[in-house]
Amino acid sequence: MACYRKKPVEIEAVQLCWTQWNEVCELLGDALTAENPDGAFEIPAEEVSDTCGEEGPNYIGLYVRTVHGEIAIVRHGDWIVPEKQPGRFYPVKPDVFAPPTRR
């Protein structure tokens, strides 16, 4: 079977974790208060996508609105990527940004 490589694309993104919280707030801007009036919420360790090297027991969960108007959950360790439409984002699992493995 043939193998194909997808052309790399540069995007703006920030990983949801405590050490990046200021950057998360900056990226979300007004959407943080409009879409998340209660801000972030705690999630248990078994629900995180990646601990980001941070020791629990407190990990972050967050809701964002997607370009389709749906609400998506961003879990600690997920990356938040802004859409072209203002106030719209989507979560990306951390393995998408992991370096490729050699075969």
Rg (CA), the chain: 15
CB atoms within 10 A of CB 52: 17
CA distance 93 to 66: 15
Tokens of 29: 């801007």
Tens place of pLDDT per residue across the chain (103 aa): 888 877 777 889 999 999 999 999 999 988 877 656 556 789 999 999 999 999 988 899 999 989 898 889 999 999 999 999 888 999 999 988 777 666 5
